[in-house]
Chains A and B, each alone.
Chain A
Amino acid sequence: MPVEVRLPTVLRSHAGGQASVSANGSTIGEVLADLTRSYPGMSGQLLTDEGDLHRFVNVYVNDDDVRYLDRLDTKVTDGDSVSILPAVAGG
């Protein structure tokens, strides 16, 4: 089922400049996989080689950080809004 995915600024160039795109899946993992299938330029920028979320990537379903839900197994339903942002940190 389609969900809206809000893209961080640096990924928009891989999606023709769009700020948000539609992707399919019933979990965050499936949505991200569909996203990188549609926009191959994003592959490697969201997930590690082991298939986990990169530590510098934050993904949200509506108002919740998926790290506090079921990470890539977090369920999404029709009409949910998924947001991707850089994790902002330093020392």
Chain B
Amino acid sequence: MLKLPAAIYTQILGHCLGGLPDEACGLIAGDGEGQVSVCYPTTNAAASAKLYTVDPLEHLRAERDAESLGLEIIGVFHSHTHTDAYPSPTDVEQASTPLSNPQWHYVLVSLRDTHPTLRSYRIVDGQIDEESVVVESHVAG
């Protein structure tokens, strides 16, 4: 399960819409339980409507910032401009490289329809499993 504070949910959708006509991407940080507490919108270094690459230096800065907050990067989000919010074969391939973290959450945002659709997946050994997404209007504590 992925738990997204409402403000981060809207931040992700806003970054994806703002990236049109290209795909947009970013990283999410939180804890090992799927609780997201910080979102790092990043530049799509591929600058493409079909591919994304999280800007490597922005990734490094996000990693350092998350660590300074006692958090870890727990996943990545990106948009599909004209297809479903479902991992593409390229997404699965990229999630299966030796340095890919099997604990990561892969958040997909489809911008195909009038209203964006956000879904989240785990991708382990090439297998895609959708997980539930809870948008929290208030974070306990």
In the complex, whether A1 has a CB less than 8 A from a CB of chain B is: no
Q: Is the interface of A mostly helix, strand, loop or mixed?
A: mixed
- A10 and B98 in contact (CB under 8 A), knowing A58-B56, A60-B60, A89-B52? yes
In the complex, whether B76 has a CB less than 8 A from a CB of chain A is: yes
Q: Count of B residues near A, CB < 8 Å?
A: 31
Task: Name B residues whose Cβ lies closer than 8 Å to a Cβ of A.
Answer: 23, 25, 27, 46, 50-54, 56-57, 59-60, 63, 72, 76, 78, 87-91, 94-95, 97-103
Q: Complex Cα distance A45/B87, Å?
A: 24
* A8–B99 touching, CB < 8 Å: yes
* A56–B98 touching, CB < 8 Å: yes
Point out the residues of chain B lying under 8 angstroms from A44, CB to CB: 98
CB distance from A84 to the nearest CB of B (A): 8
CB distance from B58 to the nearest CB of A (A): 10
Q: Can you pick out 29 interface pairs between chain A and chain B where the beta carbons lie within 8 Å of each other?
A: A8-B101, A9-B101, A10-B98, A44-B98, A56-B98, A56-B99, A58-B56, A58-B59, A60-B56, A60-B60, A63-B60, A65-B60, A67-B56, A83-B63, A85-B63, A86-B99, A87-B53, A87-B99, A88-B25, A88-B54, A88-B94, A89-B53, A89-B94, A90-B52, A90-B91, A90-B95, A91-B50, A91-B52, A91-B90
* B53–A88 touching, CB < 8 Å: yes
Q: Which of A56, A63, A91 meets B97, CB within 8 Å?
A: A56
- A57 and B99 in contact (CB under 8 A), knowing A88-B27, A89-B52, A90-B78? yes
Q: A10-B101, A85-B63, A86-B97 are in contact. List 18 more A-B contacts (CB 8 A).
A: A9-B103, A44-B98, A45-B98, A56-B97, A56-B98, A58-B56, A58-B60, A67-B56, A85-B56, A85-B99, A86-B99, A88-B27, A88-B59, A88-B94, A90-B87, A90-B94, A91-B23, A91-B94
User: Which one of A44, A57, A89 has the greatest number of beta carbons of chain B within 10 Å?
Assistant: A89
Point out the residues of chain A lying under 8 angstroms from B27, CB to CB: 88
User: Which one of B50, B56, B78 has the greatest number of beta carbons of chain A within 10 Å?
Assistant: B56
